[in-house]
Amino acid sequence: MHVEKVLNRSEIPLQCIFNCSHVGDCGPDVTWWRDELDFTVDRKNAIEYLASSGGWYREELNDADDIELAERVLWMACADFRQGEDALFLEG
């Protein structure tokens, strides 16, 4: 699954949402689900989205590889979806 600009909650399995948004370290679960879903993101849009979240510095994101960016987006999407959001928008 490749995300260019928008990721809808209905595109992500419910079990993924719960596995990737629990308390504690979600890293292994996010990695497993990224592989399972073949989850990729548009690099430019992911960097813009993640930088605007305030969780990472732009330089850090520019240095991240595509897998790291995809995992960060998936993790944030699952947290948002678990809280009731219906979509994640990567476009500016």
Q: What is the mean pLDDT of the chain?
A: 92
Residue 92 predicted with pLDDT over 70: no
- The model's pLDDT over 1-26, given as tens digits with 9 standing for 90+, comes to 988 888 989 999 999 999 999 988 99
List the one residue out of 77, 56, 59, 63 whose CA is nearest residue 6: 77
Provide the whole-model pTM. 0.90
- The model's pLDDT over 64-78, given as tens digits with 9 standing for 90+, comes to 999 999 999 999 999
Rg, Å, the chain Cα set: 12
> Would you list the domain boundaries of the chain?
2-89
Q: If you count them, how many residues does the chain have?
A: 92
Distance CA 78, CA 19 (A): 9
What's residue 88's pLDDT? Answer: 83
DSSP states of 57-71? -HHHHHHS-HHHHHH
